[in-house]
Structure 1
Amino acid sequence: MKTLIKVLLFNQAGARTDTKVSLGAWSWDLTTGEEFRVGAGLAEPYSITWCAVEYFEETGSILNMLLQHVSPNIPHFGRTLIHHAILCANLKAIEILLNRGADPEFPIQGTGSRLIHLSARRGYYTVLNHLVNAGCNIDSKTEGGETALMICARYKHVDCLKLLARSGADFGLVNMANQCVQSIAGLVRWTLGLRQAILDVVRTGTVLYSSDTSIFSTLMFVTRINDVESLEKIVDQTGVVDLNEQDENGYSAAMVAVINGHVDAFQLLVFAGADVNLENKYGETAISLSKASVNCGDFEKVILEYALTKSTPNSSNITFYTLHRAASKGDYDTVEALTNGENDVNAPDSDGYTPLMLAARGGHGKICKLLISKGAICDIENARHETALMLARENGVGNDAERVLLDHMARGLVLGGGRVKKHCKGGKGCPHTKQLVMVEGNGLLRWGKSSRRNVVCKWAEVGPSASFRWNRRKKADRDEAGLFRVVTTRNKEVHFVCEGGVEMAELWVRGIQLVTREAIFGK
């Protein structure tokens, strides 16, 4: 039969080319554009040139001969010769038609489908590859707004989809029903198939193109499914992928990894340079989200490891977070490691707490002492007017953190000095305002230049002595708040009154005793 048709074609080639015969095996619905294989000789009559395409002989000489007399772009029932060549999966005929001027973007009447859409729908990989190499518009749309990529997903043609993906087809487009490639795959229950196809392409080092990352992002896609192998390929694409891209709600890949508990993906992103301090529309960061994760400890380890091994603009922010967390948890070694650089130990976290405040609240006296030695300031207040000392006392008075803070504050007070009232003659005279200060090293307590006003303390105590009370028994200020006394090594008793009441008097006494001990025994 096929040989007979070829002979007929050869005989007709030089004669009338508008002769129509019923030899075809394909028919189609002009309304929907759907094709039907009806069997040889049962299709609508068409010209002999169409027969030369459907019953193509190996050399192509007959088709070439016919195309000398007829244009390849004359439509027949809304299609042209090249559409028929694709329908018949005849690659050689397609090549001849393209060389003879066939329009690769000629739309099928009623559907708007082009060659690439027809090839994708039929799943003709070889034909599709030929069209892509020929420069066909791979993102052209049908009247329904579907691209060849969407059509491959709808008909589950995995090899064709991979080909288009590798060739740069746009995953960020939607059709007239606002469906993208992923949503179409979900409708036809091919989600897992699409996922595997995408991963196969990404693992070759290809970053899938998307004109709208809110619809599809290769980075977000592989992060959500925690495919570390694919993610490694993506982060290696320096200058191609923005690791800090954010979706319509402001979520970054690092945030997505945290929310889904993907520690390995998070680690890869952080070490590749992802910014964990980016905020989404709700003011959340990858760091703040990690605090609520069931894998909080694992995320903290990643952040700590990065902070200790990297030195980048991003690492300073991570160090800032890690220092606060380590101080809060009582991790001395980490705090020590993170304060050896140029980090600001007085920087507050998002809640206004400095590392010292957090260490004090946790009762970690050793860490408080370390932070103070690195320049931490004790009297910083947060928005709730809390200080490190106030937070330390939440664990009860007399704990280790409170002791460290009070020692530091007291020592600073007496060495810096302050204005006090000094009583004369054991309380019989009128008090005079003096500048009271201690000298570090020798432990001298001074309130003037003469030797009589430079004394070495034996001990100090809040409140007056019995003799002082008696001498001022008729005075209203005999029990004045802020009163404290010092006994010198010569057993001379001196009374002072400071501003700030009993608490400040206790601090003076504490500082005097502390500096005196240091002078005798060393720090």
Structure 2
Amino acid sequence: MDGFGSRILSLRGLIALDVGGKESVALVSREAKGSSGGEGAEIDAGNRHLLVNWLRTDSSGNLIGGRMVALAHSLTGGGPRSLASANRVAGRCPEADRGAAVSQRLVEAAHRGDSRAAAECLADPAIDVNHAGAVCLRTRRVAMALREEAADEIRVEYVDLLTDASALFVAAHAGDLPLVRRLLGVMSVVEKGADVNQKLFGGHAITAAAREGRAEVVELLLKAGASQPACEEAVVEASLHGRARLVELLMRSDLVRPHVAVHALVSAASRGYVDVVDGLLEGGVEVNATSRVLLRSLKPSLHTNVDCTALFAAVVSRQVAVVRRLLQAGVRKEAKVRLGAWSWDAATGEELRVGAGLSEPYDAKWCAVEYFESTGAILRQLLQHHSAIDAPHHGRTLLHHAVLCANPGAVDALLALGANRELPVKAGRDIEFRPIHLAARLGFVSVLRVLVDKAGCDLNSRTESGETALMLCARHKRDGCLRILISSGADLGLRSFSGDSAIFSAASSNWSIGFRDAVLCAIWSGDVPRSSNPSVFSPIAFAARHGDVAALEVLLRRHEIDIDELDGVGDTPVMITVKEGHVEAFRRLVFSGADMKHRNKEGETAIDLLRSKENRELFEQVMLEFMLERGGTGHFHALHFAARRGDIAAVRLLTRRGCDVNSLDVEGYTPLMLAAREGHGATCEALILAGAECRVATRRGETALSLARANAKLGKEAEEVILDEIARAVVVGGGRVEKHTKGGKGAPHGKELRMVEATGLLRWGSARRRNVVCGEAAVGGSAAFRKNRKAKGDAVDEAALFRVVTATGKKREVHFVCEGGEEEAQLWVRGIRLVTTAALGNPKLCSSTSS
């Protein structure tokens, strides 16, 4: 035999030791490379893959001829010469290739269900009934669709699986009982029949039959000598697919060991196969035994392998019927498994989320709380014969655990079963809190709603530090829970033992805005926050402080709300709006009848407060509008405000309503002074017509005229109006003057000079000559008067001298000297002109000055 043949023979011996294994491939590779340095000696990665997948042995441990030839052909690099040599060295003639082909046809015939073709193949002496050929099997697969708080849904689907399979495996899979019998009983040159315990990629033949529910085939394979591993594999597969009859059949074989049977029981329990569970229990499987299985849950999230009993598997999977059956079978409820996601610190009272399966072990009823089934049936069954529903575990009860798991359904179920809603958690020496505190602190809105609406928990119960659920919500920024508690009537006026209120707790946690929004949202929805202590919290004061008009509208419609309720410093809501600068909220309270006269602890009213605000005018405008609409003045000087603003319409309306035009504000100003200071001439005129006094002075000596002159940059309109009124008052009121006679030649003598406003006459006596109409008035003396005085030796220019010229007759010129100096003389001249023009409309009255 040549070198190549030696290599092949040696190769056959190596492969017989470890067919298709990695070591064989390595040895083959090294031997081929070492014995021949020629082309094709080295086995590349592709050829290694060919070795692993092609090297097979028959039931006697011999290499299949066709595969051996192909291997030899590959090692020599291919070609006609190497193929012939490979066939020769392999010790197989073309008849061996025919045997492999016949065996493959048998597999294909079994796959097609062609009994005639299968019979022809079996009649061939070269047949290998255990030959595994590639086929595509349509295989049954069971998938579990997870549901939230409901039993997992079983979905059966069929998939095409390309795999190596023997004829017996294919026939068992298809349930072809006649072909299975024939394969098991065939006689050939080499073997008696098909190997019932041959294990392929898809398992044993009995496993395929169990998977597909072929009961008669399973029974036949059992009788044909199925081994213990095959039966155990089959019973597990049957339990996963819900094949109750097959499970019972396999259990009766006494070939299934206890731990395998327990695994089948736990698997069936997790999938809800009650009939399979029945069969296994009747077969003597220990109901309290444990097995390691994969447990999955959608909520809470779980995907982990756990050593547990069938009861825990059924609880996690929410299999109500299975739990009932296991309880009937006497399963122990006290067994504990580590499945929870929360860990409790008994010393500090803290809860730690450690992840599913990492918490302290607990029993089935705690598991049923965390993995709650929506109807509550599992929890009720577990608690049906368990009186201690409030038995503590690390200081907590099932109700506390249900709250911690944020499961309102479990909370509701436990309360319906009699759980104590007020039972506190006790941790360490000084830690104590109730379920409502836990839900509020963690922000579990749905759980809190159950505790409040259905259980009627004490909304104002306190923790060991005196905090209420409201305070915990504020401190931990739980707006949803805060709204529920407010709408349910929790007291915002309480303080903790350290003196902190809910609103203070929110501020300490930098959550004032969130607290504000939550409280206002509750008010908007029509829920008036309750407070037993307005000095701590007042709903209307809170809305006023934040300037929320909508909230004020809601509150003011409620009869129990006091619009003038005092806060801690004695401020009313309207005073609070002024302090905070909320004009629209101020408007709403003012028009709703808020008391503007109330004084706080500092002795201030709302009017006093608004005077110091930068937006003072906006508040005063509101007050003005209110007084114009409703009347009443309070302590607000509406006329002063209207005058300062130059609002003529408001001034006229207020004066018609009887407002005192000469009243003084807190600074001593009259409305006319304010109008004059702001340069509002028309307003000054309106006030004067209403009776305003022009000569009133403040304690600082300010008058309307001086104020108008001080703000000359605003124009002279106000000054002119005031001067006109003063001048009119001077001439109409009259006064003592010295009258010169004979054009300044004679001696002056005293007269009472005044004007008759109705007729426009200037009068200083009863005689006709002393009642004249003035055609001209001017300060100072005329040229003739000055000449006469000079000739006489008297003073020519006198400070208070003014003259008039009559409008009729000879147009006499008359000179007067008034008291008060030149300014008073100017007023006389101005007044004479005004009254004359007003009475007679004299267009010729000039405004000449002194000559």
TM-score (norm 2): 0.48
Is 2:693 aligned against 1:369?
no
Taking a change above 3 Å as real, the CA distance of residues 255 and 41 of structure 1, as seen in their structure-2 partners, is closer
Which residue does 1:441 correspond to in 2? 758
Residue 676 (structure 2) aligned to one of 334, 341, 360 = 360
Q: Within 5 A, what are the aligned runs for 1:5-20?
A: none
Q: What is the CA–CA distance in structure 2 between the aligned matches of 1:473 and 1:244, rounded to whole Å?
A: 85
Gaps of 5+ in 2: 1-310, 316-322, 844-851
Question: Could you tell me which of 306, 314, 321 is aligned with 2:625?
Answer: 306
Q: How far did residue 515 of structure 1 move?
A: 1.9
Does structure 2 conserve the Cα–Cα contact (< 8 Å) formed by 1:445 and 1:454?
A: yes
* Alpha-carbon distance between aligned partners in 1 of 2:353 and 2:614, rounded to the nearest angstrom: 58
Pair 304,85 (structure 1): closer, same or farther in 2 beyond 3 Å: closer
User: What is the rounded CA distance, in whole Å, between the counterparts of 1:106 and 1:455 in structure 2?
Assistant: 106
Structure 2 residue aligned with 1:384, among 689, 700, 713?
700
CA distance in structure 1 between the partners assigned to 2:642 and 2:416 by the alignment: 67
| Alpha-carbon contact 1:79-1:108 (below 8 Å) kept | yes
Give me the whole-angstrom Cα distance separating, in 1, the residues matched to 2:762 and 2:641.
42
Contact (CA 8 Å) 2:643, 2:683: kept in 1 or not? no
1:246 and 1:359, CA in 2 relative to 1: closer, same or farther beyond 3 A? farther
Q: Which amino acid in structure 2 is aligned with residue 150 of structure 1?
A: M
Over the matched positions of the two proteins, sequence identity in percent amounts to 42
CA spacing shift, 1:279–1:498, aligned 2, 3 Å: farther
> Deviation string for 1:385-417 (max 9, x for gaps)?
211111222355993322221221111222222
Match of 2:733 in 1: 416
Paired residue type of 1:289: K
Q: Quickly say closer, same or farther: Cα 1:58–1:341, change in 2 above 3 A.
A: farther
Deviation for aligned residue 1:165: 0.9
Q: Which moved more, 1:508-517 or 1:471-480?
A: 471-480
Change (3 A) 1:234 1:492: same
Worse overlay, 204-213 or 266-275: 266-275
> How many equivalent pairs are there?
501
User: 3-state SS of the aligned residue for 2:433?
Assistant: coil
Do 1:112 and 1:143's aligned partners in 2 also have CA atoms closer than 8 Å?
Answer: yes
Whether the 8 Å CA contact 2:739–2:815 is kept in 1: the answer is yes
State the partner residue of 2:10. none
Contact 2:727 2:831 in 1 (8 A): yes
Structure 2 residue matching 1:317: 3-state secondary structure:
coil
Q: Does 1:150 align with 2:471?
A: yes
Mapping of residues 215-254 of structure 1, within 5 Å = 218-219=539-540, 228-237=549-558, 240=561, 242=563, 248=569
Partners of 1:336 and 1:83 in 2: how far apart?
72
The equivalent residue for 1:285 is: 609
Closer/same/farther in 2, CA of residues 387 and 171 from structure 1, 3 Å limit:
same
CA displacement, residues 209-259 of structure 1 (integer Å, 9 cap, x when unaligned): 345667655456556666554444344446515378667595956765896
Corresponding residue for residue 818 of structure 2 = 498
| Matched residue, 2:487 | 166
Distance 1:369 1:187, change over 3 A: closer
Are positions 1:32 and 2:348 aligned together?
yes
Please give the residue correspondences for 1:272-351 in structure 2 after superposition, counting only pairs within 5 Å: 272-273=592-593, 285-286=609-610, 288-291=612-615, 299=618, 303=622, 306-307=625-626, 310-313=629-632, 317=636, 319-320=638-639, 322-327=641-646, 331-333=647-649, 335-336=651-652, 339-351=655-667
> How far is the alpha carbon of 1:90 from its aligned partner?
3.1
Q: Distance in 2 between matches of 1:399 and 1:37?
A: 81
Q: Counterpart of 2:613 in 1: which secondary structure?
A: helix
Gaps of 5+ in 1: 13-19
Contact 2:637 2:665 in 1 (8 A): no
Q: 2:437 aligns with which of 89, 100, 117?
A: 117
Contact conserved, 1:52 with 1:63, CA < 8 A, in 2? no
1:104 aligns with 2:104: no
Cα drift, residue 151 of structure 1: 1.6
The Cα offsets for residues 405-437 of structure 1, whole Å up to 9 and x where unpaired, read as 122111122222223344556556665544332
Q: Deviations over 1:300-352 (max 9, x none)?
A: 7963883486214369938446403422xxx5455455544333333445544
Q: For residue 198 of structure 1, what is the aligned residue in structure 2?
A: 519
Decide which of 777, 785, 804 is 1:460's aligned counterpart: 777
Show CA shifts across 1:247-282 (max 9, x none).
75959567658966x665555455445578988869
**CA drift at 1:459:** 3.2
Note if contact 2:544-2:573 (Cα within 8 Å) is conserved in structure 1: no
Structure label with greater radius of gyration: 2
Which of 824, 828, 843 aligns to 1:508? It is 828
TM-score by length of 1: 0.72
Higher mean Cα deviation, 431-440 or 386-395? Answer: 431-440
Question: Partners of 2:537 and 2:415 in 1: how far apart?
Answer: 33
Cα root mean square deviation, aligned = 5.2
In 1, the alpha carbon distance for the partners of 2:776 and 2:501 equals: 82
Name the CA distance, whole Å, in 2 between partners of 1:481 and 1:6. Answer: 127
CA distance in 2, matches of 1:484, 1:7: 126
CA distance in 1, matches of 2:432, 2:640: 56
Displacement of 1:137 after TM fit?
Answer: 3.9
Pick closer, same or farther for the CA change 1:201–1:467 going to 2, 3 Å. closer
**What code does the residue aligned with 1:394 have?**
A
Which piece of structure 1 moves more, 355-364 or 267-276?
267-276
* 2:709 is the counterpart of 1:393: yes
Query: Residues 240, 97 of structure 1: CA spacing in aligned structure 2 closer, same or farther, 3 A cutoff?
Result: same
Letter of the 2:705 counterpart: L
Conserved? CA contact 1:152–1:158, under 8 Å: yes
Change in 2 beyond 3 A, CA 1:467/1:145: same
- 2-structure distance, mates of 1:42, 1:244: 53
Amino acid at match of 2:826: E
What is the distance in 2 between the residues matched to 1:513 and 1:390? 23
**1:206 partner letter:** D
For 2:802, the equivalent position in structure 1 comes to: 484
Q: How far off is 1:164 after superposition?
A: 0.6
Amino acid at match of 2:422: P
> Take 1:421 and 1:246, find their aligned partners in 2: how far apart are those partners?
70
245-254 or 433-442, which deviates more: 245-254
Q: In the TM superposition, what is the alpha-carbon distance from 1:178 to its structure 2 partner?
A: 5.9
Distance across 1 between alignment mates of 2:560 and 2:656: 33
- 2 CA distance for matches of 1:395 and 1:103? 76
SS of aligned partner of 1:289? coil
- Quote the Cα distance in structure 1 between the aligned partners of 2:337 and 2:578: 60
Equivalent residue, structure 1, for 2:719: 402
Letter in 2 for 1:410: A
Change (3 A) 1:448 1:370: same
